[in-house]
Amino acid sequence: MSEATSIKVLIVDDSAVVRQTLSEILGSEKDIEIMGTASDPIIAAKKLEKEIPDVIILDIEMPRMDGLTFLKKLMQQFPIPVVICSSKAEEGSQNVLNALDYGAVEIIRKPQLGTKQFLTESRLRIADAVRAAHMAKTRKFKPKPEVSAKLTADAVLPLGKEHVRIETTELVVAVGASTGGTEALREVLEALPVDAPGMVVVQHMPEHFTAAFAKRLDSICSVGVKEAENNDSVLRGRVLIAPGNKHTLLKRSGARYYVEVKDGPLVCRHRPSVDVLFRSVARYAGKNAIGIIMTGMGDDGARGMLEMHQNGAYTIAQDEESCVVYGMPQEAVKRNAVDLILPLNRIAAEILKSDKRK
For residue 272, cis peptide bond before it (omega within 30 degrees of 0): yes
273 is catalytic: no
300 is catalytic: yes
Tell which residue, 180, 127, 185, has the closest CA to residue 326.
Answer: 180
Distance CA 41, CA 320 (A): 34
Tell which residue, 299, 273, 292, 305, has the closest CA to residue 342.
Answer: 292
Helix (H) / strand (E) element for 251: namely strand 247-253
Considering 13, 39, 204, 208, which one is annotated as catalytic?
A: 204
Concatenate the DSSP letters of all residues of 200-214 into one string.
EEEE---TTTHHHHH
204 is catalytic: yes
Distance CA 41, CA 300 (A): 34
Distance CA 177, CA 195 (A): 23
Considering 40, 280, 300, 309, which one is annotated as catalytic?
A: 300
Considering 178, 273, 280, 322, which one is annotated as catalytic?
A: 178
Phi/psi at 314 (5° precision):
-95, 125
Catalytic residues: 178, 204, 300
